[in-house]
Amino acid sequence: MAEGDDSSYPVETTKKKVNILMVDDQPAKLLSYEAILSELGENLIRANSGKEALEHLLKIDIAVMLLDVSMPELNGFELAKIIRQHPRFERIAIIFVSAAHLTDADRLEGYRRGAVDYISVPVIPEILRAKVGVFVELHRRSEQLAELNEELRLLSKRLLVAQDAERRRIARELHDGLGQELAVAKMSLDAVLARDLVGSRPLVTDLVTTIDRAVQQVRSISHLLHPPLLDEVGLVSAVRWYLEGLTQRSGIQTSLDVQPADFPRLAVELETAAFRIVQESLSNVFRHSRAHNVWVVLAQQPGQAIISIRDDGKGVGTQITQFRPESIGVGIGGMRQRVKELGGLLRVANVDPGTLVEVVVPLSSFSKEGRAAIEPTKRQGERQSKSLVTSRPAASL
């Protein structure tokens, strides 16, 4: 490569053109605006009336509108008001063009209707081109930011899915690997103990007790990472099992209210997220709340599922209920992200006494076909269940 040749450096890709809508009832003015703005290299669209402008808005995305104030039938102020009433058009930059002298009251009215700037007639080409160019660039930057946010959202979703899959994998390996080895060792020691070898009974008995504790710990860790009940039976059974474990290990009294009593199976993604939200909420209760009681509600109403966790502890700070980034931890941040991915709402509030965590998730986004994904994991869970000791361990914290 010759010295000074920068051909190896990446070249900026061609910018995507944005749409500029010019609205005026006088064709001559539209031609004049088009000649002035053509240097920007964007898509220029003409409309001779407010009605025609609305037709364009419904068909394509507009970044900037150059809008004549004085038009018959539907003037610029009235058109701007109609546009701003629709959420889809909130981000359009509207620049009013007026040949008449506008008072401060007129300008204020225009800004209230959604104007971002004014241009007076006769139009100075350089000023018009500069102002439109600024709003075009702002629109382009906004689109780029929206694309980056979407990429971050998708990345966050993939990370959550990968995290759940890794938990399931580790749980299975703990059970099928270490758990089975410990079980074999215990059976071998039981066989030695049955022979009643002289002097070996106390030592073997201690070893059997130690292995029993290790087996229980492996099961508890495995089930907390991903409880087989979640795949085998569903959310209600998994939550009930977890609550029983919380009570046994911490002394906190728990209550589960299921509405309706025959609570149905939900989509895999929703059941996993719901269990993680309950799990994280109860972990926070155990670590921080000093509560004596916890009430959990799982409810299905028309079109939505509701998860509610309430304790009678000391409550949380206002910064947490407002989800201020510097105040919320990884746990609440993770819950919030899960709920956002599900299209739901998360609320954390202080009650008297204690804290309420409430999640509302729409069910319309989850198809029944999503249940098919349960079957492979369910079969794995059934294989695990057959090899477990008959009593299922309570959850440890």
Question: pLDDT (tens digit, 9 = 90+) per residue, 61-76?
Answer: 888 888 888 788 787 7
Is 172 part of a structural domain of the chain? no
Averaged confidence pLDDT in the chain: 76
Is 170 part of a structural domain of the chain? no
- Same domain assignment for residues 112 and 244: no
Res 394: pLDDT: 43
pLDDT class of 7 with cuts at 50, 70, 90: very low
pLDDT class of 393 with cuts at 50, 70, 90: very low
Closest CA to 177 of 219, 228, 208, 220: 219
Kindly state the average pLDDT of the residues 124-136. Answer: 87
Is 253 part of a structural domain of the chain? yes
Tens digits of residue pLDDT in 137-192: 888 888 878 777 777 766 666 666 666 666 666 666 665 656 666 676 677 667 66
Q: How far is CA 270 from CA 164, 200, 230, 303, 376, in A?
A: 12, 53, 11, 14, 17
The residue from 97, 123, 149 where one domain ends is: 123
Is 103 part of a structural domain of the chain? yes
What residues have CB less than 8 Å from 125, skipping those under 6 apart? 36
CB 183, CB 176: distance < 8 Å: no
Res 392: pLDDT: 40
- Same domain assignment for residues 89 and 235: no
**CATH code, 295:** 3.30.565.10
**CATH code, 74:** 3.40.50.2300
CA dihedral over 335, 336, 337, 343, signed as positive or negative: positive
Can you read off the two tokens belonging to residue 319?
A: 């910064």
- Same domain assignment for residues 271 and 390: yes
The residue from 123, 138, 167 where one domain ends is: 123
Lowest model confidence (mean pLDDT) among 100-109, 314-323, 383-392: 383-392
Phi-psi region of 268 (alpha: psi -120 to 50; beta: other; left: phi over 0): alpha
The residue from 88, 123, 158 where one domain ends is: 123
β-pairing verdict for 293-301 and 304-311: antiparallel
Res 377: pLDDT: 38
- Same domain assignment for residues 263 and 392: yes
Kindly state the average pLDDT of the residues 298-321. Answer: 90
- Same domain assignment for residues 393 and 260: yes
Is 90 part of a structural domain of the chain? yes
- Same domain assignment for residues 236 and 364: yes
pLDDT class of 310 with cuts at 50, 70, 90: very high
pTM: 0.50
Is 352 part of a structural domain of the chain? yes
Is 25 part of a structural domain of the chain? yes
- 308 is in which domain, residue-wise? 230-397
- Same domain assignment for residues 245 and 381: yes
CB 94, CB 83: distance < 8 Å: yes
CA dihedral over 262, 266, 272, 276, signed as positive or negative: negative
Tens digits of residue pLDDT in 340-362: 888 889 999 999 889 999 999 99
- Total number of domains constituting the chain: 2
CB 220, CB 396: distance < 8 Å: yes
Question: Is pLDDT at 249 greater than 90 in this prediction?
Answer: no
Is 1 part of a structural domain of the chain? no
- Same domain assignment for residues 270 and 397: yes
Can you read off the two tokens belonging to residue 64?
A: 């900037």
- The DSSP secondary-structure symbol of 17 reads P
- Same domain assignment for residues 256 and 393: yes
- Same domain assignment for residues 244 and 114: no
